A and B are shown apart, each in its own frame.
Chain A
Amino acid sequence: MVDLSVSLAGVMLKNPIIPASGTFGYGREFAEIYDLDILGSFSWKGTTRDPRSGNPQPRIAETASGMLNAVGLQNPGMEAVLREELPNIARIFHGPVIANVCGFSLEEYAENCRLLEDAEQVKILEINISCPNVHAGGKNFGSDPRSAAAVTRAVRAAAKKPVFMKLSPNVSDIAEIARACEAEGADGLCLINTLLGMRIDLDARRPLLANRTGGLSGPAVFPVALRMVWDVYEAVKLPIIGCGGVDSAESAAEMLLAGASAVEVGAANLRDPWACKTIIENLPAVCRRLGVSRISDLIGGAHYG
């Protein structure tokens, strides 16, 4: 019997697999096809205070080993999520929920955290300072250490729940951003969000996405995400949720060995809606192959020996 449980800032997960924000909605579509209680947790769709309709079409483009999206944080707004989605989540999932929290100002981030205070099932706030699709040129609070620190300070003051800052890979030194978040009292980090990219429609000679640029995800980004998790693990003491291109139990184990305490699975859910289920089912065999009886023994393992 392999122990798959892991801990994120004191929150126990039955296994390290978490569907990533933006690929799992609020769980409804997946609850129709498998029992969500097999999941360690799930990170709901990035939610802003006010409803957002997102970017114009087209919002999706394919790439080699991955995809670009420029959805632009379409969501029904925090109050509608608390009123309509949270009670439904309680019916379809009984584990700890990660709330992905977005904002366009420090006040909005703080207010969203306060609104989530009474949501008992929400155990971790994942503060999205890294969506590349809502500001011209992909700039956001996660683009520089000072603004990342400012958001961390604001949410730390507003929230009692653990706050995990979701970091952008579109920076020159992600470890510096991670240290800035740690210094302001973040309880953990989640990395990486998508990489800023684009495609051009050859016949139209125009950008394929209406937003011009989009966020790259899928197996194409896995080595980049893994390297950043490695660097951040060396730079800070905080627990890390590794995210980016994971599509198998093996790649999830690589993330743990690089230093992640848990793993988010994103684009893989869109290609194969049963991806997380398959990964979880295959984790014990990978642990046996690696000779560990507790999966948590893998965390950071590649840094030693």
Chain B
Amino acid sequence: MKKSIFTLEQSRRLARDVWELRLAGDTSAVTAPGQFVNLQLPGKFLRRPISVCDWDERGLILLIKEAGEGTRELVRLGAGTELDVLTGLGNGFDLTKAPEGAVLAGGGVGIAPLYGLARRMLEAGERPLAVLGFRSREEAFYLEEFAALGLEVRAATEDGSLGTKGFVTDVLKGLPGGLYVMACGPAPMLKAVSALPQTAGGQFSFEARMACGFGACVGCTVETKRGLRRVCRDGPVFQKEEILW
């Protein structure tokens, strides 16, 4: 964990309530896709935990959904705004545990960490299929960015306005069995993905209401097959076999 000041370089609207923020700063504590950062916002007591979409040695990309007052203000901050950020939080996706042919499955803003994950899998010589789910075509985003990485992307929308009509599970159902899925999205989506007969294994990234984000307050504890685990510190990515749904 590291605390440092990041400078907002650009805030770009991707869909009705989803934004891409580019921040410049010290990313040396970020070690794995699926980790998160905790941002301090002016006038707010608790930090906002945000999954890292992608990073390089000079900055971070975050995808942020406007969920409340804090995130609404965050995405509208002007370029040049300085933010106090805790970086390198949580355990991300473990590429060494993923077998060849692993599939990425994301729902809504949950697709964010899968982008950084896809990039690192490609660097490792893997070319995963990305299955990305949204409510509708208007609410879809980052499909071109995923495709530009050079991997196959399949979309699902609940209203059928883009790609398969339905959920990411409706795409996964059409794939051969024995899937290893790296997933991030709303809890009901993760549960449905895990419950598919096609899903043999995988890694699932969870959200939680957090106070500290580094394991001290135990506010985000969940029960797992291996006992109590903190989403912030022991997760947010958990292995399929340890999760209690």
**A and B are interacting partners:** yes
**A positions within 8 Å CB-CB of B:** 22-25, 28-30, 32-33, 45, 53-54, 57-67, 69, 71, 74, 218-219, 267, 269-274
Partner of A273, one of B210, B216, B228: B216
Q: Say if the beta carbon of B142 comes within 8 Å of chain A.
A: no
Among residues 142 to 198 in chain B, which have CB atoms less than 8 Å away from a CB atom of chain A? Answer: none
Does residue B240 face the partner (Cβ distance < 8 Å to A)?
Answer: no
Residues of A within 8 A of B86 (CB): 273
Main secondary structure of the interface of B (DSSP, over half): loop
Shortest B40–chain A CB gap in Å is 7
Knowing A53-B228, A60-B211, A273-B1, the reply to whether A65 touches B219 (Cβ < 8 A) is no
B211 touches A273 (CB 8 A): no
User: Is B212's CB under 8 angstroms from A270's CB?
Assistant: yes
- Whole-angstrom CA separation of A269 from B1 in the bound complex: 14
Count CB-based A-B contacts (< 8 Å): 86
* A60-B210, A219-B45, A271-B40 given; A74·B218 CB < 8 A: yes
With contact pairs A53-B228, A59-B209, A60-B210 given, residues A270 and B44 touching in the complex (Cβ less than 8 Å): no
Q: What CA separation (Å) do A29 and B66 show in the bound complex?
A: 30
Residues in B with CB closer than 8 Å to A45 are 218
Would you mind naming 27 contact pairs between A and B with Cβ atoms under 8 Å apart?
A23-B217, A25-B218, A29-B233, A30-B216, A53-B221, A53-B223, A54-B221, A57-B208, A57-B222, A59-B221, A60-B217, A60-B219, A61-B209, A62-B45, A65-B45, A66-B45, A67-B45, A67-B211, A69-B219, A71-B221, A270-B212, A270-B216, A270-B217, A271-B40, A272-B3, A273-B216, A274-B3
Residue of B nearest to A220 (CB): B45
Contact A62 B217 (CB under 8 A): no
Size class of B's contact patch? 20 to 34
Q: Which of B1, B45, B208 has the most CB of A within 10 A?
A: B45
> What chain A residues lie within 8 Å of B222 (beta carbons)?
57
In angstroms, Cα B191 to Cα A104, docked, is 37
Please tell me if the beta carbons of A29 and B45 are within 8 angstroms of each other in the complex: no
Measured CA separation A62–B222 after assembly (Å): 20
Closest to A26 in B: B216
Q: In the bound complex, how far is the Cα of B208 from the Cα of A61, in angstroms? A: 11
User: Which of chain A's residues have a CB closer than 8 A to the CB of B216?
Assistant: 23-25, 29-30, 269-270, 273
A270 touches B211 (CB 8 A): yes
Contact partner of A69 (CB less than 8 A), chosen from B3, B211, B233, is B211
Q: How far is the CA of A63 from the CA of B68 in the complex (A)?
A: 13
Shortest B245–chain A CB gap in Å is 14
Closest residue of chain A to B84 (Cβ to Cβ) is A272
Task: Tell me if B215 and A57 are in contact (CB < 8 A).
Answer: no
B46 within 8 A of A: yes
Contact A32 B217 (CB under 8 A): no
Judge whether B121 is part of the interface by a CB distance below 8 angstroms: no
Known: A32-B1, A53-B228. A22 touches B217 (CB 8 A): yes
Contact A67 B46 (CB under 8 A): yes
Q: Could you mark each residue 200-237 of chain B with 1 if its beta carbon is under 8 Å from any beta carbon of chain A, else 0?
A: 00000000111110111111111100001000010000
Bound complex: CA of A262 vs CA of B209, how far in Å? 32
Contacts of A28 in B (CB 8 A): 215
Our pick among A30, A219, A273 for the contact of B3 (Cβ within 8 Å) is A273
Complex: how many Å from CA A28 to CA B223?
Answer: 21
* Interface residue B127 (Cβ < 8 Å from any Cβ of A): no
Contact A271 B223, beta carbon cutoff 8 Å: no
CB neighbours (8 Å) of A54 from chain B are: 218, 221
Supposing A29-B233, A272-B3, A273-B3 touch, asked if A62 and B219 sit within 8 A by C-beta, the answer is no
Instruction: Tell me the minimal C-beta distance from A285 to chain B in angstroms.
Output: 22
